[in-house]
């Protein structure tokens, strides 16, 4: 599965070294159409956050109970400055929801750690790309 399948979680598992549930977004798209790529990534991130915030993760992946979460994004192509800005905004916006960057491995991977349980105050937090 890939970033293009916006309503699907690409991969989920437990990182044994940290006992953290890791959800991975696999992004193979080029940045030729930056706006479309950012929109696709936005949809995927919103799906992942909704999956965590709704508690669906506990129903579909029983091993997640009692563990912290992390969302990793692995890019095949180096993100543009606008993509870096967008991901920085996502990290900044989630600070109050106990979500912060934790991964800078590989040339261009990004991670967001999610506290447990997901604060209900974050349930409506979604990302909308700014125009202009």
Taking a C-beta distance cutoff of 8 angstroms, is the pair 109, 84 a contact?
Answer: no
Total-model pTM: 0.76
Question: What whole-number distance in Å separates Cα of residue 41 and Cα of residue 46?
Answer: 9
pLDDT in tens, 3-60: 888 888 989 999 888 888 888 888 888 999 999 999 999 899 889 888 888 889 999 9
Domain range list for the chain: 11-122
Phi-psi sector, 75: left (phi>0), alpha (psi -120 to 50), beta: beta
- Region 94-119: mean pLDDT is 48
pLDDT at 37: 93
Q: What is the CA radius of gyration of the chain?
A: 14
Percent helix, percent strand, percent coil in the chain, to nearest 5: 35, 20, 40
Coil/strand/helix, residue 111: strand
């Amino acid at each position: 599965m890939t970033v293009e399948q916006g309503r699907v979680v690409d991969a989920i598992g437990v990182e044994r070294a940290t006992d953290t549930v890791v959800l991975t977004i696999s992004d193979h798209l080029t940045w030729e159409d930056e706006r479309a790529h950012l929109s696709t990534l936005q949809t995927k991130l919103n799906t992942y956050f909704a999956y965590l915030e709704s508690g669906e993760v506990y129903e579909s992946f029983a091993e997640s109970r009692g563990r912290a979460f992390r969302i990793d994004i692995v890019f095949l192509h180096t993100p543009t400055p606008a993509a870096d800005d967008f991901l920085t905004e996502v990290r900044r916006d989630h600070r109050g929801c106990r979500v912060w960057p934790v991964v800078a491995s590989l040339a261009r991977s990004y991670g967001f750690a999610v506290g447990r349980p997901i604060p209900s105050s974050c349930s409506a937090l979604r990302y909308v790309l700014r125009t202009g």
